[in-house]
């Protein structure tokens, strides 16, 4: 199984803790040490599972808006996007549990025209205010259909590290990686009002594969 590059530090710390706690359990508990070692082994395995990189065949897209992450659609709503669009947009929010793949992908193809990191709070990721008050990043892409699409990584109560690798001027390719969030979080996508939304609240998405909306080609 391939592991994400962001796993290195976390897995190193997890390995050290597992060895130390396992050794202490064996030394002090002898035959009863398995009561400690087995739960530790489950947790240790989950750390590796969290950082997995699945093999996915990413297709080329123009009008399609692709799910940027694995997770569950928790919001589809008309909102005011005040940071970049500065007007009405359709917000599609996808919540990621700690068990989901946490690779963040471009929802559309085009050109990156804006990026910004915002420090903030750590409200639970499904809280509506987390979109504007939590630690987050905002990226905007001028799509191949000549629309401005904004998407936002949002840290949750557990997630305390957001990374994004894109820069203004970069080519964005729908379904391809642009960042990563550790341990539970949310991602919002802001789309033009005339976008055809093809997902619904409660849908389970696969990042890079599932189509969540379609935009008209201007």
Residues with Cβ < 8 Å from 144, sequence gap 6 or more?
A: 62, 108, 109, 110
- Do residues 76 and 201 make contact, with C-beta atoms less than 8 angstroms apart? yes
Total number of residues shown for the chain: 218
Residues with Cβ < 8 Å from 143, sequence gap 6 or more?
A: 108, 109, 110, 149, 215
Of the residues 93, 109, 143, 185, only one is catalytic, namely 185
Give, as one character, the DSSP assignment of residue 31: G
Q: Nearest to residue 119, comparing CAs of 133, 135, 131, 139?
A: 135
Burial 122-154 (b: 16+ CB within 10 A, else e): bbebeeeebbbebbbbbbbbbbbbebbbbbbbb
The number of angstroms, rounded, from the C-alpha of 139 to the middle of its chain's C-alpha atoms is 13
| Active-site annotation holds for 185 | yes
Distance CA 168, CA 21 (A): 45
Burial category of 82 from C-beta neighbours within 10 Å (exposed 0-12, middle 13-18, buried 19 and up): exposed
Residues forming the active site: 185
């Amino acid at each position: 199984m391939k592991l994400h590059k962001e796993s290195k530090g976390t897995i190193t710390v997890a390995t050290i803790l597992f060895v130390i706690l396992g050794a202490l359990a064996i030394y002090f508990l002898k035959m009863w040490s398995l009561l400690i070692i087995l739960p530790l082994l489950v947790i240790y395995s989950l750390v590796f599972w969290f950082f997995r990189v699945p093999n996915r065949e990413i297709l080329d897209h123009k009008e399609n808006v692709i799910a940027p992450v694995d997770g569950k659609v928790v919001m589809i709503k008309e909102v005011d996007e005040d940071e970049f669009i500065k007007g009405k947009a359709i917000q599609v929010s996808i919540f990621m549990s700690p068990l989901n793949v946490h690779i963040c992908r471009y929802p559309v193809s085009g050109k990156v025209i804006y990026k910004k990191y915002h420090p903030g709070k750590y409200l639970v990721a499904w809280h509506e205010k987390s979109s504007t008050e939590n630690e987050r990043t905002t990226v905007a892409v001028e799509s191949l259909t000549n629309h401005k699409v904004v998407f936002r990584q949002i840290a949750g109560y557990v997630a305390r590290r957001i990374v994004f690798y894109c820069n203004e001027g970069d080519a964005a390719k729908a379904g391809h990686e642009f960042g990563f969030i550790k341990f539970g979080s949310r991602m919002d996508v802001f789309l033009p009002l005339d976008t055809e939304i093809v997902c619904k609240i409660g849908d389970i998405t696969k990042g890079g594969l599932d189509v969540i909306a379609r935009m008209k080609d201007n």
